[in-house]
Amino acid sequence: MTLTGIADEAGAHVDAQIRATQELGWNHIEARFVEVDGFEKGSIHEIPDAAFDEAAAALADAGVQVCGVGSTIGNWAHAIDDPFDITEGEVARCIDRMGKLGCQLVRIMSYAILEDGKENDLPDQQADERFRRVAEIVRRFEDAGITPVHENCMNYGGMSIEHALRLQDAVPGLKWVFDTGNPVFNADRSQPRPYPRQDAWDFYQAVKPHIAHIHIKDGIWDAEKGDCTYTMPGEGEGQVARILADLKADGYAGFVSIEPHLAAVFHEEDRADTDPEAKARAQYETYVAYGRTLSKLIETLP
């Protein structure tokens, strides 16, 4: 297995992402969001051409390769009843950018969970439409020589093991990126309310035959707060060591990508009183420390 990371968790700017990767002695990043001088931070497949060209050139000049793209396609911010041409445009732009970056793996999802105004799941999750869209997304990427991997995150396929397997059955050949930390805070929506949390090992076992990529995050679910406290890898409930040991025993030769969430949570808004410099420093230092901790953990595996 080869270590890499979702590099915007080290810092938004491409220079910070490169510096953290080099400090860890790694050769690859998983590209998700990026910022370059003169442009706002944005998805690697959605930023303006000039910003993308500058980011790609900086990575190439530093000898840092992109192992995959953490796209926003079908993610928790996309509704299943949005026009499909929004997704089609994202897929087309992503394919073009990935060709320029020379990478062949892309993270996708199966659209946001449908809820009412009180955060209750709607009975009808429009599963058939989700299956149709995911199958079409997969087809388009595979036709371009790219492997799409579905993440067990906050989307239909991450609602429970049952939902994941339903999606797998509906889209034969679908590959997965398994995130060790997502089950810690994701509700098991196959069960009645109040939903229990998912079990990382059980979810991993369910999709294991289809895994092509790994995300590492870890945490402890605080039922009283109704929130997850993120931890260093191996210190939480994500069963990181057990899963990595199993992957190692099976000869897994893919990428293992860190997504710490300790100093930066991608989908949370910045607080108004946050000191930008202190936040940037904490992000960078935590990312590097996380990578080193994971590397040491892997060295101890049987």
Over residues 81-118, the pLDDT tens digits come to 999 999 999 999 999 999 999 999 999 999 999 999 88
Stretch 212-216: mean pLDDT, rounded? 98
With 70 as the cut, is the pLDDT of residue 212 above it? yes
Question: Of 80-94, 117-131, 195-209, which range is least confident?
Answer: 117-131
With 80 as the cut, is the pLDDT of residue 187 above it? yes
Question: Of 8-22, 240-254, 266-280, 285-299, which range is least confident?
Answer: 266-280
**What is the pLDDT, as a whole number, of residue 14?**
98
Please give the order of strands across the beta sheet that includes 175-179: 2-5, 255-258, 211-216, 175-179, 147-151, 105-108, 65-70, 28-31
Whether 71 contacts 43, CB under 8 Å: yes
Task: Read off φ and ψ for residue 90, nearest 5 degrees.
Answer: -65, -45
pLDDT, tens digit, 9 for 90 and up, residues 42-65: 999 999 999 999 999 999 999 999
**What is the pLDDT, as a whole number, of residue 266?**
47
**What is the pLDDT, as a whole number, of residue 273?**
59
Q: What is the mean pLDDT of the chain?
A: 95
With 80 as the cut, is the pLDDT of residue 31 above it? yes
- C-alpha dist (Å) from residue 219 to 36, 45, 99, 302: 31, 29, 35, 23
Superfamily of domain 2-299: Divalent-metal-dependent TIM barrel enzymes (3.20.20.150)
Q: What is the share, in percent, of the chain residues with pLDDT greater than 70?
A: 96
Give the number of other CB atoms < 10 A from CB of residue 289: 15
With 70 as the cut, is the pLDDT of residue 225 above it? yes
- List the domain boundaries for the chain: 2-299
Please state, in angstroms and rounded to a whole number, the distance separating the CA atoms of residues 273 and 258: 27
Stretch 129-154: mean pLDDT, rounded? 98
Confidence bin at 265 (pLDDT 50/70/90): low
With 50 as the cut, is the pLDDT of residue 3 above it? yes
**What is the pLDDT, as a whole number, of residue 277?**
87
Whether residue 172 is preceded by a cis peptide bond, meaning omega within 30 degrees of 0, is no
With 70 as the cut, is the pLDDT of residue 275 above it? yes
Confidence bin at 276 (pLDDT 50/70/90): confident
Give the number of other CB atoms < 10 A from CB of residue 86: 12
Q: What is the DSSP letter of 192?
A: P
